[in-house]
Structure 1
Amino acid sequence: MPRTTTTAPGRLLTVKQAAERLNTTERYPRRLIEERRITFVRIGRHVRIPEPALEEFIAAGVVEPLRLGMRRAA
């Protein structure tokens, strides 16, 4: 069965590096990987998270502020 090639995933981060970017312990990125909530790459026994995938995950969690009652100055 032929393998399909994809574009380069960008810089690959270790779980520790991903945890530092998320300002959490290593347990959180490992849980994201286990629950398949983030893209990851398996290299032998090692797991790496593509930097664009981590940025995408962070961007998906961004909540924009409400803009209620904003008035323009006359």
Structure 2
Amino acid sequence: MFVGFESLDCLRLNLDEYGTTDERFIFKLIFMDTYDNEYVAVIEDGFVFAKGTVLWKVQEKVKMAENRENTFRKWFSL
């Protein structure tokens, strides 16, 4: 099953620039039918794979880390 969600804080999920993480999660999906019957599914050891524009913060974080590393190398190579 593919489930869509929106988040402005993909860094909390510890996503890398490819939209993956080594973290594992527990998800609880709650479905309701038209009679208000509730169905619950618990997914243990679930993972997140993100793609698209949601990764802009992750890509920005990677660029900042690369810039810091380059600055550090330049400073110590003097």
Q: Which structure dedicates a bigger proportion of its chain to strand?
A: 2
| Structure with higher helix content | 1
Q: TM exceeds 0.5? A: no
Q: TM-score, normalised by structure 2?
A: 0.27
